[in-house]
Amino acid sequence: MTAVLRNAMLVVTAMSTFTSATAEATEPQVELLRNPFARPAITELFAAAASVNDVLTRGDNTELRAVLVAGPKSIVDFGGVILQIGESSNGYRLLDVGEGTATFNRKGEKVVFSLYEPDQGKSDE
């Protein structure tokens, strides 16, 4: 028997032994409670924010606290109230959200709030 043939037979024997051994040794299956790759449903987040908004006191706080730019689903934290485009709080209706800014309509006048400028609430004419 040649050395090549003998080595080939040894490889085939080792592979068949390894395959049968691994087939018998299976790990226990763990069932996941949730999909770790699934993103949270944005509608659930909006519903949670709406319930929080109902609880908050809607006083005269007109401070822009946070901005999330997401196209038509953009949201802002305006005085502790989470608003989506088209929603209102304290007479301010959210029109547009930009990078660090939020544009509101109040009594027919556009008002722009910024996260970066200390004098917020300038009229934009």
Among 84, 86, 92, 87, CA closest to 63: 92
pLDDT, tens digit (0-9, with 9 covering 90-100), for 70-81? 998 999 998 888
Strands (E), 20-124: 64-68, 75-78, 81-84, 88-89, 92-98, 101-106, 109-114, 122-123
- The stretch 81-97 carries a mean pLDDT of 92
Spans of all domains in the chain: 42-123
81 against 62, higher pLDDT: 81
Which range (6-15, 63-72, 88-97, 108-117) has the least confidence? 6-15
- Long-range contacts made by residues 68-74, C-beta under 8 angstroms, separation at least 24? 68/97, 69/97, 69/98, 69/99, 73/42
pLDDT, tens digit (0-9, with 9 covering 90-100), for 3-50? 777 777 777 777 776 655 555 556 778 888 877 787 766 777 777 777
CATH entry, 42-123, from 3.30.70, 2.60.40, 2.40.350, 2.30.30: 2.30.30
**Residue 57 banded pLDDT, cuts 50, 70, 90:** very low
